[in-house]
Structure 1
Amino acid sequence: MQQLNLPTYKFRIKSTKNKYVIFDIIRKKYVSLTPEEWVRQHIIHYLIEEKNYPLSLIGIEKKLTINKLTKRTDILVFNTEGLPHIIVECKAPSININQNAFDQIARYNLKLNANYLIVTNGINHYYCKMDFEKEEYVFLKNIPNYI
């Protein structure tokens, strides 16, 4: 897999039926190791190991319904009250981050009302804090640590 612009972590990867799988510590199972999953696993470990978010507050591929369509967030971090705190949209490293990715996560946030948004392809990372009063997001240098 491609080297990402994130710290290196120890992953449990194995080959099965001519494909690679990676162990997801949130879902507690092996999942197919796609380029997008490679980014997702790095971000999960980044949030836990670098930003100190508890494993118990992180959800993967949580369902939400938007205009009668079922969508899934890549990563959803909750606060201690169980409310959405951070939404993360992961793309494969070969996918350029563009306005469509921001529109996608903004649509999710209309439903979820998270305080922070992250859009990443593992190479480029965009961190945003929501300004609900002005109905816009403000770009940050990084996401805050868990307190």
Structure 2
Amino acid sequence: MTALNLPSYPFKTMTRNGKPYIFDVLRKKYVALTPEEWVRQHFTRFLLEEKGYPQGLLANEVQVNLNGTRKRCDTVLFKRDLTARMIVEYKAPSVEITQAVFDQITRYNMVLRVDYLVVSNGLRHYCCRINYSDGTYVFLPEIPRYDEL
């Protein structure tokens, strides 16, 4: 897999029917190892180990209903009251982060109304904080630590 702009971590992997799988610590199961999943697993570990995010408040593949269709947020950070606080959207390293990616995560946020939106392709990471009181947002220079949220 592609080297990413994230720390390296030891991952549990296996091969099933000739296809690679990686263990997802949040879903507690092996999942198909695609380029996007490679990014998700690195970024999740980055949030847990480098940024201090509590494992019990993070979830992968969170379903939302958007205009009558089911969509899945790649990763959601919840508050202690189990309302959503952050949505993270991943793309494979070969996928450029474009306005369309931000449009996608913004649609998910129409349902969840989080404070932070994060987009990463494993090479470039973007984080913005939303201020609902004045309808603005600001891009942050880095992904905040959990205790800074």
Distance 2:124 2:118 in 1: 10
- Relative to the length of structure 1, the TM-score reads 0.97
Which residue of 2 is the match for residue 54 of structure 1?
A: 54
Stretches of 4+ aligned residues off by more than 6 angstroms: none
Report the alpha carbon displacement of residue 90 of structure 1 after superposing the two structures with TM: 0.2
Report the alpha carbon displacement of residue 131 of structure 1 after superposing the two structures with TM: 1.6
Matched, 1:106 2:100: no
Distance 1:114 1:53 in 2: 16
Report the alpha carbon displacement of residue 79 of structure 1 after superposing the two structures with TM: 1.2
Q: CA RMSD in A?
A: 0.9
Report the alpha carbon displacement of residue 103 of structure 1 after superposing the two structures with TM: 0.5
Report the alpha carbon displacement of residue 110 of structure 1 after superposing the two structures with TM: 1.3
Structure 2 gaps of 5+ residues are: none
Q: What is the DSSP-based 3-state SS (H/G/I as helix, E as strand, rest coil) of the residue aligned with 1:22?
A: strand
Deviation track 1:75-104 (CA, whole Å, cap 9, x = no partner) reads 000011211111000000010000000011
Q: What is the DSSP-based 3-state SS (H/G/I as helix, E as strand, rest coil) of the residue aligned with 1:36?
A: helix
Paired residues of 1:47 and 1:53 also in contact (CA < 8 A):
yes
Paired residues of 1:116 and 1:143 also in contact (CA < 8 A):
no
What is the aligned-residue identity percentage?
48
Distance 1:137 1:126 in 2: 12
Which residue of 1 is the match for residue 9 of structure 2?
A: 9
Which residue of 2 is the match for residue 39 of structure 1?
A: 39
Report the alpha carbon displacement of residue 135 of structure 1 after superposing the two structures with TM: 2.4
Distance 1:63 1:85 in 2: 15
Q: What is the DSSP-based 3-state SS (H/G/I as helix, E as strand, rest coil) of the residue aligned with 1:49?
A: helix
- Relative to the length of structure 2, the TM-score reads 0.95
Deviation track 1:54-77 (CA, whole Å, cap 9, x = no partner) reads 110001111101111110000000
Which residue of 2 is the match for residue 141 of structure 1?
A: 141
